[in-house]
Amino acid sequence: MGRRDEWLDLPGDPTVDGVDRRDFVKVCMMAAAALGLPAATGVKWAEAAEAGLKPSVIWLHFQECTGCTESLLRTSHPGLDKLILDMVSLDYHETLFAAAGHQIEAALHDAVAKGGYVCVVEGAIPTKEDGIYCQIAGRTAIDILQEVGGNAAAVIAIGSCASWGGIPSADPNPTGAVGAQEILKDKTVINLPGCPSNPYNFLGVVLQFATMGTLPALDDEGRPLFAYGRTIHEHCPRRAHFDAGRFVRQFGDDGHNLGYCLFAMGCKGPETYANCSTLHFNEVPDAWPIGIGAPCFGCTTKGVGFTKPLFQEAALPPNYVPPIHPSDQRGPITPGWAGVVGLATGAAVGGALMASKKLGEGETEGS
Amino acid sequence: MSMDRRTLLKGLAVAGAGAVAPVEASEKYAEAPEDAVGMLYDATRCIGCQACVTACKTANNLPGNRYNPPEDLSGETKNIIRLYQDGDESSYVKSQCMHCVDPGCANACMIGAFKKREYGIVTWDPDRCIGCRYCQVACPYNIPKFQWNTGVPLIVKCELCNHIIHDPDTGTLREGALPGCCQACPKEAVIFGRYTDLIEDAKQRIAERPERYWGPDGEPKIFGLTDGGGTQVLYLADLSFEKLGLPTLGDHGTAKQAREIQHGIYRGFIAPVALYGVLGLVMWRNNRAAKKEEG
Amino acid sequence: MASHSHAQPVGGPLNKKFVTFMVIFLGIWAAVLLYRFIYGIGVVSGLTDYYPWGVWIAFDVVTGTALACGGYAVAILCYILNKGKYHPLVRPALLTSALGYSMAGLAIVIDVGRWWGVWRIPLGGFPDMGSYNWDSALLEVALCVMAYVGVLWIELGPAFLEKWQSTSKNSALVGFARAGLKFYDKALIWIIALGVLLPTMHQSSLGTLMLLAGQKLHGLWYTPWIPLLFLISCVGMGYSVVVWESSLSTRLFKRQREDDMLTGLSGAMVVIVSLYLVLRFADLIISGKTSMMFTSGWLSIVFWVEIGLFAFPLWMLMNKQRRSQFPVMLRASILLMLAGAMYRFDTYITAYQPAPGQTYFPSFLEIFVTFGVIALEISMYYFIVKRYPILGGATAEGAAE
């Protein structure tokens, strides 16, 4: 661990060293940089967190695998988990809480009553049979979300399940699983799809809300544009291979070993909107599907991940393709030049006729 | 109808020369060679990624790349993907040499720079070309391109990557070697293979999903089976081939007709020799008569 | 052949202004050509991959050789049909032909991209011999044109030999000339027969060329009869050249005009042009393209203008009385020349539609190069008639014989 941290030039092991202010600010700045914000924003976040302006966070788990939480915890970044806990006041989280039972339900109740919190939803919400397929403390997921989410200052749906149903909603969708937005129809839900969602995107949204009280600009599916504005394909490190027509044809073939494009293996990069290709997971270079030679399966995009067959080629985004009948290679006839030539031809013909007249007359007279 | 005119013209030419030699049709390129290879392009599979365009340039060592995409076939582009779009209808289409069974270019070329070679591949030989560009006139698909901006121009045209797939030492096809475009295509929208296999493949695709393909009167059509006398590159599409920029040709290439007329006139060189003899004799007699008058 | 004995050099000094102008003009022309040979055809022409053949081919070669067929037309009339009646016209017509064909050859060298390989064509594709592609109409054209250029200059040989025989101070040259003339006395008719055969072959083949364009050539022009139509219209153009040549020569060099012969020629033209029109329309009607004549948009207009250019002079020459009038002849010949030229331009450029949205229009330099070729031809004609016995009919008696 220590060696890898040195290699990555990251701050020391927090479990040994604790987190000093310098490291903390640095982490905030990196988070800001990941979101394309100026370094000063990171400093601002750090200051806000230090000043104790920690937003309250309520983290709800529904139909999910806890993968999003796990990936958040497994960031190799020193103590990112701890930082989140330090930077936000995590008032309710079923995985991380030491408490259980009535104790934790009371905590939830208190936090909701206080208001002004951020509600993070992880997991899809089953709606069939009145939502009986997921119940906590005797209440259905629908009930819980409607209460907690409805009262929240902001709702963040983390992971594909919470964003649009994810795996639980895959065909035939036995539990009628839907995303958080479907339940909270009147509220703006920030969707952070992904399986798992990239922790940095989550961090950026939470910190922006914590420090500036604003939420990022969203696309029409409620995804922050800073992270989901472009396709994987647009910034894929293997894009050059795509453009040159060098494709992996079979896992383990020469092209695969050489890191060729995985499009022909069913990579959904061209239709998947996410920033995985520029922001790899857990600060480990190439820690993302395409980086390790696996095709992107489109987890962040509804209708692609868990829906399209794994090895079916993706639809390409509109691209420039020349039209079937190319325009004139040398430009159309310029009217001026055509006129000049026309006049010249006309003059020549006219001149010839005149000359013929003259010649004819002359000859008639002469003969 | 056209048969009538042809026959009439031949009759005129032959009668004019005073020779009655029968004119038989030139059946030189009636069918593709037995070992012919070719390509099958399925426009319904093409996704317009243009990987084949770049791959072609790489395989043939031509300048230009994906980041400065060509607009048309040219002196530095042998293969191109273009888009037909009209309202909701759209289709990509690939253009490259069709490797005609009866190629107009080879028919036009004076000292055989264009040749239909082993496996029916139509190739171009710079050593024999004088740059007259008759091939460009003769090609119904406007495929051969000329390098206009150099003092030492070449004709540029797809040769089915002959240098890759064909081993000149053994005269056989290299095992597993593919033309650049077929190698690159991620969707197998263009595939390389034996001509007969490709026809089978195309027919099978049509049999499996007839609704996917276009054809006159709803009957799915393989372009190149008979068009212009047949082409070794076959096309399948879900729009009419005319919309995709392919010409409407009869079942015989223009090459065949031109050859018939040309050979009809010059068959065995009988007509010219006979005409020459007649001309000479008439003039000789006239001359003698004139001299007698003078004398 | 008794004709040559009456031809005389025009003589006199060369016109200084004319020579100065030509030298400057041709100097600029040579510079443009140098530019073309270094940087390629694209830099001086408006040609594209869709229109690989432009004015250089359509005018300099196809129309140019057809105009140069004056020699061909006169040879047919003189030696085949009229037993030597038109002899005084033969040499000027032959000279125009020889120059016209030589210039067409020059234009081809300018036009082809890999011109350094042209020499391999007469040599059977040397070094790999026998690589001729006999399917190619262009090969036939190339061989015929090359041969015909040679034949034309050989036909003209007596003019040079006579000059050398009578004026040279070099006794060897005089001897050569004498022997040569003796040879010509025997062989000339067979050479002239060749000189009739070759144009018959390649003028029709110039039409055959466009058969390969197939569907790219508009239906009103695409017909299997193209070879025949090209051949016939070329004869009409040859006639025009003869009329003009005769007129200009008499005018400029104060020679006697051969009115009777020209009237005879005009009569022949009525038959030729009628045949052309009948064939043209018969083909369109037989092949069911009748409606095309009216439904092809602006190409219909082009078609009818072209037909008009053939039909109007035909009407002018129909009347026996009218066609004996020289001005009528001149005007009719201009129209016929235009008609033939337009037919060739239409077939090679206007009605050639390789792909939708593609157009061609010659660039300035392209036209300039063409003018340069014509200027060179005029200069050479001027120089040769001044120095060598080309123009005949110095006296009425001479011509009447």
Are B148 and C114 within 8 A, CB to CB?
no
- The residues in C 271-290 lying below 8 A from B, measured between CB atoms, are 283, 286-288
Mean pLDDT lowest among A80-89, B142-151, C31-40, C138-147: A80-89
| Distance, CA of C178 to CA of A286 (rounded, Å) | 95
Say what the pLDDT of residue C254 is: 64
Contact B253, B229 (CB under 8 A): yes
Q: How far is A252 from chain C (nearest CA, A)?
A: 45
Q: Is B49 on the interface with A (CB under 8 A)?
A: yes
- DSSP code of residue A118: E
Tell me which chain B residue has its CA closest to the CA of residue A314.
Answer: B47
Say what the pLDDT of residue C82 is: 61
| Distance, CA of C305 to CA of C125 (rounded, Å) | 43
Are A337 and C364 within 8 A, CB to CB?
yes
Does residue A33 share a domain with residue A73? yes
What CATH number does the domain containing B133 carry? 3.30.70.20
Say what the pLDDT of residue B295 is: 57
Of the candidates C262, C261, C257, C264, the residue with the CA atom closest to the CA atom of residue C391: C257
Please compute the mean of the pLDDT values over residues B176-198 and round it to a whole number.
Answer: 91
- DSSP code of residue C3: G
Tell me which chain B residue has its CA closest to the CA of residue A315.
Answer: B47
Q: How far is B250 from chain C (nearest CA, A)?
A: 9
Q: Is B7 on the interface with C (CB under 8 A)?
A: no
Q: How far is A321 from chain C (nearest CA, A)?
A: 18
ipTM entry? 0.87
Q: Reply yes or no on whether the pLDDT at C4 is more than 60.
A: no
Does residue A258 share a domain with residue A305? yes
Which residue, among A312, A321, A325, A330, would best test binding to B if mutated, counting the most B CBs under 10 Å from its CB? A321
What CATH number does the domain containing A290 carry? 4.10.480.10
Of the candidates C377, C370, C333, C344, the residue with the CA atom closest to the CA atom of residue C241: C333
Q: In chain C, what are the helix, strand and coil shares in percent, each to the nearest 5?
A: 75, 0, 25
Are B67 and A313 within 8 A, CB to CB?
no
Q: Write down which residue in A175, A202, A226 finishes a domain.
A: A226
Contacts of C355 in chain B (CB under 8 A): 142, 245
What does each C-alpha distance from C341 to B206, C164, C348, C374, C394 come to in angstroms? 51, 38, 11, 15, 32
Tell me which chain A residue has its CA closest to the CA of residue B68.
Answer: A320
DSSP A212-278: HS----B-TTS-BHHHHSSBGGGG-TTHHHHHHT-B--STTSHHHHTT-B-GGGT--GGG-B-STTT
Q: Is B85 on the interface with A (CB under 8 A)?
A: yes
Q: Reply yes or no on whether the pLDDT at A7 is more than 50.
A: no
Does residue B184 share a domain with residue B85? yes
Residue type, B202: A
Does residue B219 share a domain with residue B121? yes
| Distance, CA of A138 to CA of A274 (rounded, Å) | 37
Q: What is the CA radius of gyration of chain B?
A: 24
Domain count, chain B: 2
CATH 3.50.50.60 fits C3-400, yes or no: no
Are C52 and B261 within 8 A, CB to CB?
no
Q: Is C63 on the interface with B (CB under 8 A)?
A: no
Please compute the mean of the pLDDT values over residues B47-64 and round it to a whole number.
Answer: 89
| Distance, CA of A306 to CA of A294 (rounded, Å) | 16
Specify the higher pLDDT residue, A286 or B182: B182
Note whether residue A18 is domain-resident: yes
Q: How far is B281 from chain C (nearest CA, A)?
A: 9
Q: Reply yes or no on whether the pLDDT at B93 is more than 90.
A: yes
Q: Is B244 on the interface with A (CB under 8 A)?
A: yes
Tell me which chain A residue has its CA closest to the CA of residue B85.
Answer: A323
Residue type, B216: P
Helices H, strands E: what count in chain C? Answer: 15, 0
- DSSP code of residue A94: T
Domain count, chain A: 2
Please compute the mean of the pLDDT values over residues B97-115 and round it to a whole number.
Answer: 90
Tell me which chain B residue has its CA closest to the CA of residue A312.
Answer: B187
Q: Reply yes or no on whether the pLDDT at C2 is more than 60.
A: no
Mean pLDDT lowest among C126-130, C169-173, C270-274: C126-130
Does residue A291 share a domain with residue A205? no
Please compute the mean of the pLDDT values over residues A199-228 and round it to a whole number.
Answer: 85
Q: Is A359 on the interface with C (CB under 8 A)?
A: yes
Note whether residue B209 is domain-resident: yes
| Distance, CA of A146 to CA of A148 (rounded, Å) | 6
| Cis check: omega of the bond before A55, within 30 degrees of 0 | no
Tell me which chain A residue has its CA closest to the CA of residue C337.
Answer: A349
Does residue B196 share a domain with residue B57? yes
Q: Write down which residue in A201, A226, A251 finishes a domain.
A: A226
Task: Please write the tens of the pLDDT for every residue from C181-239.
Answer: 888 887 877 888 888 888 888 888 888 889 888 889 998 999 888 888 998 888 888 88
**Cα angle, residue C114 at apex, residues C370 and C347 outer, rounded to 5°:** 50
Structure tokens of A226?
């800073």
pTM over 0.95: no
Does residue B274 share a domain with residue B183? no
| Residue B260 CB contacts under 8 Å (≥ 6 apart), including other chains | B6, B10, B23, B25, B26
By CB atoms closer than 10 A (0-12, 13-18, 19+), residue B3 is exposed
Query: Taking CB atoms and an 8 Å cut-off, how many pairs form between chains B and C?
Result: 216
Task: Please write the tens of the pLDDT for every residue from B233-282.
Answer: 999 999 999 889 898 888 877 788 888 887 777 776 777 788 778 877 87
Q: How does the average pLDDT of chain B come out, rounded?
A: 83
Q: Write down which residue in A319, A343, A362 finishes a domain.
A: A319
Instruction: Provide the sign of the torsion angle of the four alpha carbons B202, B203, B209, B210, taken in this order.
Output: positive
What does each C-alpha distance from C389 to A221, C7, C167 come to in angstroms? 94, 5, 12
Mean pLDDT lowest among A143-152, C74-83, C319-328: C74-83
Per-residue b or e along B8-35, where b marks 16 or more CB atoms closer than 10 Å to that residue's CB? ebbebbbeebebeeebeebeebeebbee
- The residues in C 224-283 lying below 8 A from A, measured between CB atoms, are 247-248, 250-251, 257, 259
B61 phi-psi bin (left φ>0, alpha ψ -120 to 50, beta other): left
Which residue, among B2, B262, B270, B293, would best test binding to C if mutated, counting the most C CBs under 10 Å from its CB? B262
| Distance, CA of C63 to CA of C61 (rounded, Å) | 6
Q: How many CB atoms lie within 10 A of CB A122?
A: 29
Tell me which chain C residue has its CA closest to the CA of residue B109.
Answer: C136
Enclosing domain of residue A275: 230-319
Contacts of C259 in chain A (CB under 8 A): 367
Please compute the mean of the pLDDT values over residues B204-216 and round it to a whole number.
Answer: 90
Q: Is A336 on the interface with C (CB under 8 A)?
A: no
Does residue A257 share a domain with residue A162? no
